[in-house]
Amino acid sequence: MTDTAPETSGSYRAGFLTFVGRPNVGKSTLTNALVGEKIVITSPKPQTTRRAVRGIVHRPDGQLVIVDTPGLHRPRTLLGERLNDVVQQTLSDVDVIAFCVPADEKVGPGDRFIVEQIGQFPRPRRIALVTKAETVGRDVLAQRLLEVDELAEWDAVIPVSAIEGIQLDTLVRELIALMPESDPLYPADMITEESFEQRAAELVREAALADAREELPHSIAVTIDDVVLRDDGSTREVYANIVVERDSQKGIIIGRGGERLRRIRETAQRELDRISEGRTILSLHVKVAKEWQRDPKQLGRLGF
Ligand SMILES: Nc1nc2c(ncn2[C@@H]2O[C@H](COP(=O)(O)OP(=O)(O)OP(=O)(O)O)[C@@H](O)[C@H]2O)c(=O)[nH]1
Q: Check if the beta carbon of residue 162 is closer than 8 Å to that of residue 156.
A: no
Residue 38 in marked binding region: no
Dist CA 107 CA 147 (whole Å): 7
- List the 125-131 sheet strands across, edge first: 53-59, 62-68, 13-21, 96-102, 125-131, 156-159
Tally of residues, the chain? 304
Say whether 185 sits in a helix, a strand or coil.
coil
Q: What per-residue confidence (pLDDT) applies to 91?
A: 85
Q: How far is CA 186 from CA 86, 150, 189, 247, in A?
A: 22, 36, 8, 44
Q: Is 42 in the pocket of ligand 1 (CB under 6 A)?
A: yes
CA distance 184 to 90: 20
Structurally, what CATH architecture does the domain formed by 13-178 represent? 3-Layer(aba) Sandwich (3.40)
196-301 to CATH, choices 3.40.190.10, 3.90.1170.40, 3.30.300.20, 3.40.50.150: 3.30.300.20
ipTM: 0.97
- Report domain extents, the chain: 13-178, 196-301
Which DSSP helix (H) or strand (E) runs through 247?
Answer: helix 247-254
Contact (Cβ atoms closer than 8 angstroms) between residue 191 and residue 39: yes
Enumerate the β-bridge partners of residue 131. Answer: 102
Q: Is 36 annotated as a binding residue?
A: no
Can you name the residues that pair with 62 across neighbouring β-strands? 13, 59
Distance CA 298, CA 304 (A): 9
- 71 within ligand 1 shell (Cβ under 6 A): yes
| Annotated binding-site residue? 22 | yes
Q: Do domains 13-178 and 196-301 have the same CATH topology?
A: no
Q: Is 18 in the pocket of ligand 1 (CB under 6 A)?
A: no
Would you give per-residue pLDDT tens digits along the chain (304 residues)? 333 434 444 689 999 999 988 888 998 899 889 988 776 667 666 555 555 556 899 999 999 999 866 656 555 666 666 666 767 778 888 999 999 999 999 999 989 988 988 888 889 999 999 999 999 999 999 999 999 999 999 999 999 999 999 999 999 999 999 999 999 988 887 787 777 888 888 889 889 888 766 656 677 889 888 889 899 988 889 999 999 888 888 988 999 999 999 999 999 999 888 888 788 899 999 999 877 666 666 666 666 6
DSSP string over 61-100: TEEEEEEE--------SHHHHHHHHHHHHHHHH-SEEEEE
Amino acid at 185: L
Rounded distance, CA 209 to CA 42, Å?
9
40 lines ligand 1 (CB under 6 A): no
Give the pLDDT of residue 301. Answer: 65
Question: If you measure from the C-alpha of residue 48 to the centroid of ligand 1, how many angstroms do you get, rounded to a whole number?
Answer: 10
Backbone phi and psi for residue 56, each to the nearest 5 degrees, phi listed first: -120, 125
**Gap between the Cα atoms of 75 and 167, Å rounded:** 34
Distance, in Å, from the CA atom of 180 to the CA atom of 191, rounded to the nearest integer, reads 20
Pocket flag, ligand 1, residue 209 (CB < 6 Å): no
User: What global pTM score does this model have?
Assistant: 0.71
For a mutational test of ligand 1's pocket, the pick from 27, 28, 29, i.e. the residue with the most ligand atoms closer than 8 A to its C-beta, is: 29
**Ligand 1, atom 3: nearest CA belongs to which residue?**
132
